[in-house]
Each structure stands twice: as C-alpha cells, then as structure tokens.
Amino acid sequence: MTDERRKWHERLQVTLWTLIVPPTVWAVHFLFSYLWAAVSCAKAGVFAEFPTLFVIGTVLALMAIALSGWIAHRQTRQRGDPPPHEQGTDIDRLRFLAKSTLLLAGLSFVGVLFTALPVVFIGDCR
Amino acid sequence: MAGKSLVLWSLVLTGCNAHQSALAPFGLEARSTLWLTIVLAAGGLVIALGVAAIYVVAARAPEGKLTHESGMRLVLWLGAVVPTVVLTALLIWALPAMRPLPAADSDLRIRVEGEQFWWRVTYRQDGAEPLLSANEIRLPVDRTVVFELTATDVVHSFWIPGLAGKMDMIPGRTNRLVVKAEKPGTYRGVCAEFCGLSHALMAFDVIAMEPAAFDAWLAEARVRPVGQPRERGAALFAREGCGSCHSVNGEQTARIGPDLTRYGERLTLGAGILAPTAADTAAFIRDPQRFKPGARMPAYDHLPQEEALALAHWLKRNGKPKTPEARP
Ligand SMILES: [Cu+2]
C-alpha cells in the first residue's frame, strides 16, 4: 500500500511538472520580451534591435518547450491497456496529463513564436 | 485589377464622404490598412460560412457515417493547424505595416500644434526659414513627409483618415508620424480626442499636391507679402488689436490665434467648419462663440457690420489662391 502510493506520487509530480513547464516558459519569455523592449525604449531611447541575447533566449525557450513536449509524448505512449484511456486508473491519469502537456507545449511553442515576431518586425519605440 | 476593385470597394463603402474616410485612402498607410481590413472581413465571412456549412453537414450526416477519429482529425486541422498558419501569415503581413516609414533628415517636416480649437502649422525644410500657417495642411504626393505633433493646452489627436492612422498630440511631447500621400486631391482631417466644448468643430483641410506644384506653392508662400498698411482693413486690424493674436504679412510674431497671412487661399474658416466667405468671416469676427462655443477669440460685436466686412475683405485678399488645381 505505502509502496503503491509513493509510486503514484512520484509519477504525478513528474507529469504535473511537465504540464506547467511549457506555459511557464512561454510566460517568462513573454514578460522578458516586453520588459526588454520597454526598458530599452525608456532608458536607452532606442528599440533593442534583434539583440543576440533575445535570439538565444527565444531559442532556449523553444527548446525547453519542445523538450517537455517530447517527454510528454513519450509518456502518452506508455504501455498499458488498450484505448480508450478514460478510466480512473493511475496509468490513464498519467496518460491524460501527458496528453495535456503535449497540447500545452504545442500552444506554448506557437505562443513564443508569436511573441517573438513583433520584436523582429517592429524596429521602433513608437 | 486589384486597384480597380479597391476603388470600387471604396466607392461602395464611402458613399459621398470620400474626402474624409479611411475607406477612401489617398496615402500609403491608409491603403495598406484598408487592404488588411478587407481581407480580415472577407476571411471572417468565409470562416463563419464554413463553420455553418460543416455544422449542416454534420447534423445531416446519416447515423454511423461520422467517426470519432475523423472528428478529432477535423479538430486538429481546422482547430489548430489552419488557425496557426493563418495567424502566422497575418502577423507576418501586418507587422511590417506597423513599422513606421523611414524618414530622412532632408524630408519635409510639418509641425502641427493642437490648440483649443484650431491647428497651428509650421513647415520646415533643410534649414530654410520656417513657414507659419493654420488650419490647413498642404503636402506633396509621392514624398515622405514627417509630421511633428504636439499640443499646447490639452491632449488632442491628429487624424487624417484617408492618409494614415491617428496620433495623439500631447502637451510637452512631440510625436512623429511619417506619411506618404499617393493621390493628389482635397481631403479633411479631424481632432480625434475630446478636447473641450468645440472639439467636434476642430477640423482642417488637407491638400495633397503634385510635388512640382507643392514646391512652387512653398517657394511662393515663403516670400513675405508686402503689407498694405494704407488700406482700411489694415487700419482696422491695427485699431482693434487683432495683431496681438494674429499674424498677417508673414511676420510670425503673434501666435495666439491662427496665422492669417494667406487667409485668402483657405478652403474653410474656423478650422474646417465654415466657408471662408466675406460674410461668414465678418460674422465670425463679430461673434466667434456663435459658431464655436469656447473659442479663444473675443467677440468683436461692437464693430459695425460694415467695418467687420471691410476687415473680412481685406483678410481675404491675403495670399490669393494661385494653384487652381487644388481648389475643390
Ligand atoms: Cu482637439
């Protein structure tokens, strides 16, 4: 019993982590992009034009999201009973969280790209 | 073809207000914004019709025809992949349009100051002496023009719908708006930020001219007219102290009211609200509040009608129009 529960906890923790990682990365990237532009405009008076740091940050964010998406994808593929995976069992719950993470990772990936595009295309503080 | 359909659209949508409408563009930015609007509206219509069609098909499909899997595939494609691609395409198309046009130092700069309830206009170029004007903006087509926008009292907003988006005029700040007119003609701009009693009566004429005609006009306007102090109007103007607020003869010293140096060439009176006839000009001088509540010009109702008319006639002789193609 105790053994069972520990395993259950462990698994849930892992998937909950991967669940919030993509949107969190997206949020941080979003915040950083806007603060970066605002601070640069207010303090330096010029738009931070496509700085290397921004490119690195964006690539890192995309990689982190892709990685958690990939992990999630692996977990949806865990062996178990045949579909539909809609039972209240541990393995089905895990599959559900993993699938949600995968979808969130897709959304966050596009979100980060959409946040980065204006930085590339708008070169002015106005 | 594309140009023709755009014109057609504009005609259908603007009715008879083609001189002040974002749907009848005469400038680069307004034109690309109109295209974006048309594409978005048409796209929205297509999506709405498409969803309705899918709904009908799904509702009428025979039992067992639709599978869970094909439904999920539909959601994946029409719900995720296609919107992502469409939104990305729209972003890549629209974002560069938000980028301000590039401007060189040698480009014409037109400084416009919003006042309750009129516009002070100053043309500057290449270190030449600035030219003061009011309530009317002339600009050359096919050239980049930089508007430097500010205000002296409250926040106003500068908007020429057919030319470009609007831009706030904020006291103590200068906002830049870079534009490029494309089609000569007579248009109209307005104040787009509530600024007091006569906010709705604060407009201006916009005259887009062929570059050569514009250069000729600017050169001619820069030549300071020789005053005719012996005329009766000039004497009245001096006697009544109009010169403490208005400049005539291009002195540019009195700046409290609109510059009246080239008043005779104006298309409107009182910042776009009246025809500049002698009769209306005289009526305005005797009682500005009647036409513009809250206007910052005292009423000269003690002036006999005959003297007000003499003043009006004299003002209207200033800077007679020499560019007939600009007349509507
Ligand atoms: Cu105003």
Which residues fall within 8 angstroms of residue B39, CB to CB, at 6 or more apart?
none
Q: Can you read off the two tokens belonging to residue B139?
A: 């600009």
Predicted pLDDT of residue A41: 83
Mutate to test the interface with A, among B68, B76, B98, B168 (most CBs of A within 10 A): B98
pLDDT of residue A1 exceeding 60: no
Strands of B118-124's sheet in order across: B131-134, B118-124, B108-115, B144-151, B175-180
Q: How far is the CA of B284 from the centre of ligand 1 (A)?
A: 19
Q: What is the dihedral of CA B45, B46, B48, B53, to 10 degrees?
A: 140
Q: Which positions in chain A have a beta carbon within 8 angstroms of at least one beta carbon in chain B?
A: 106, 110, 113-114, 117-118, 121-124, 126
Nearest by CB to A121, which of B80, B88, B95?
A: B95
Place of tokens 């999920």: B72
Q: Rounded to the nearest whole angstrom, what is the distance from the C-alpha of residue B191 to the centroid of ligand 1?
A: 5
Question: CA–CA separation, B260 vs B238, rounded Å?
Answer: 14
In this predicted complex, what is the ipTM? 0.76
* pLDDT mean by block of 10 residues, chain B; 328 residues: 58 66 90 92 95 92 85 90 92 84 89 94 86 93 95 95 94 93 94 94 95 92 70 88 87 86 90 91 93 92 91 83 43
B199 DSSP 8-state letter:
G
Are B295 and B322 in contact by the 8 Å Cβ rule? The answer is no
Domain assignment of residue A39, given as a range: 14-121
B120 backbone dihedrals φ, ψ, rounded to 5°: -95, 125
Residue B37 sits in the same domain as residue B172 = yes
Of A113, A114, A121, the CB nearest to B96: A121
Same domain? B188 vs B259: no
Residues B146, B210, B103: CA angle, nearest 5 degrees? 20
The answer to whether residues B237 and B286 belong to one domain is yes
* DSSP result, A50-69: S-HHHHHHHHHHHHHHHHHH
pLDDT digits (tens, 9 = 90+) for A54-106: 889 899 999 999 988 888 887 777 666 666 777 777 777 778 888 888 889 99
Domain that holds residue B270: 232-326
Residue B269 and residue B141 share a domain: no
Q: Are residues B167 and B37 in the same domain?
A: yes
The last residue of a domain, from among B147, B174, B198? B198
Q: What is the pLDDT of residues A20-46, one digit of tens each?
A: 889 999 999 999 888 888 888 888 777
B269 belongs to a structural domain:
yes
pLDDT confidence of residue A10: 44
Q: B157 has which bridge partners?
A: B168
- In terms of phi and psi (left: phi > 0; alpha: psi -120 to 50; beta: otherwise), the region of A50 is left
Chain B residues within 8 A (CB-CB) of chain A? 80, 84, 87-88, 91-92, 95-96, 98-100, 175-176
Query: Looking at CA atoms only, how far is residue A122 from chain B in angstroms?
Result: 5
**Residue reference for tokens 């909950």:** A16
Measured distance CA(B68)–CA(B227) in Å, rounded: 87
Going by C-beta distance under 8 Å and a sequence separation of 6 or more, which residues neighbour residue B21? B10, B13, B14, B161, B162
CATH of the domain at B300: 2.60.40.420
Instruction: Sort B245 into a burial class: Cβ within 10 Å, 0-12 / 13-18 / 19+.
Output: middle
Amino acid (1-letter code) at residue B78: L
Distance CA A107, CA A72 (A): 14
Tell me whether residue A113 is in a domain.
yes
Q: Count how many domains chain B has.
A: 2
Best mutation target among B81, B85, B88 (most A Cβ atoms within 10 Å) is: B88
The β-bridge relationship of strands B108-115 and B144-151 is parallel
